[in-house]
Structure 1
Amino acid sequence: MLDSLRWLALEVTYLDRAREFYTTRLDLPVERENDTEVVLRAGETEVILRRPKRVPRGGLHTHYAFSAPAEEYDEWWERLEDLDPDEHTFGSARSLYVDDPDGHCVEIGEVGDESEGEGITGIFEVVLEVADLGRAEDFYTDLGFEVTDRGSERRRIRLAGPMDLELWEPQLGLADARGGVHVDLGFGSDDPQPLVDRVRDRACAVESLDGGVRALDPDGHYLTFE
């Protein structure tokens, strides 16, 4: 069983520029850093800014969504207004979209209230680009994700798990967002080995790690289970 999203890694060109955006614009605290990575905290999830030195690299042009209390949404809009945010409404909840300096589409959505914390409280959605939607659906549902929605053109699927996961065939979504390629995701699991065994025959690679297992999915996304 997957119980949490431990990390999302993003590929960046210049660490100092990306660090400035996420710490100054979004108030994400720095947990640790070195010459190739800056690790930030968003609720229970680490946001890793990574220069491309080795694999796993971190995702390119990844669309993902931060949660924030509904009471703070207007403050976020005013704070990011100079970036010309795009806005969309889902039922009664609003989300704004801006691009970070490396072309990642960052969404901030009204999720929860101030009783759950202030500022950015976590990540509630990640979008992956896939070549074969049916193949990707089978892979991720075998890992425990559940389908909750299918796009009208049958080119995307939304699944529920530790966070919402969207699988997109190549396309432009809201705010011209794209699904990430070679995304590096880390998940918490109480028993990772049997979980990976469910997809071992379809994974491009499986590697045992100290305290966990890493799998490379058929579309080149790295998934680590700890």
Structure 2
Amino acid sequence: MPVKPRRSIAGLVWDFERQICLQPFESTVMSGREGLWEDTEEVSLSRLLSLGERYDEFIETLQLLFASDPSQRIQTHVTVPHAYKELMRWQVNLVAARPGALVVWEDVTDAVPVEPPTLQQIGLHTAHLTGVNVVVIAPAHGTLAMFLTPPPEWVQHIYRSADVHVIHQDDVEAIQKAVADERFAAAATDQPVSTDVRLLTTDGTYERVTMDLLPFPGEIGTGLVVGYFVRSTTA
């Protein structure tokens, strides 16, 4: 019987207190991006999550990352495009390890077929084409956790230091006040709470946008909210 080739396995550490991921060199090799990083790098959560094209158990994953129970663990799957070839299917194991989480992924493309995009993903991609950007935010930490639409090229969501703030620090309190308002708890999809937010751009400056905020769908103690905005300038 022929010996099956060994599967690739790698992972990272999510540092919850610093809101940053520590990614070893090996974890970049699996996706063909080893030439883009140093041996060990701090990298933004939004950068890592943007590499996946389809997530299973999405809400549960975010709950573990932002409001984990010490004994919580999840096994899920994500579709990841290789930098130089076809889509891959990864099995991801997340284990809460305060303050943060340990994440290990394995390439199981040989056993688990890559699934097509969901209708929701197609809808979000279509919204992005019209200029609408949808994000997940952790107000208590001022963290832009990830883009649900493809990340816009002008927002600096890729960074390698916990000292970088995509959301201007002076605007974090405004977001916190907006989501603490009684109207926010009763918000419907057609009645979001709005606030002005400055976002870090790729040229190192901050650009102001009006962001509409909604409770995270199926919120189960994650402390996360959904925000959406349209760029007001084309500069």
Whose strand proportion is higher, 1 or 2?
A: 1
Q: Which has the higher contact order (CA 8 A, sep 6+)?
A: 1
Structure of larger gyration radius: 2
* TM interval, short-chain normalised: under 0.3
TM (norm. structure 2) is: 0.25
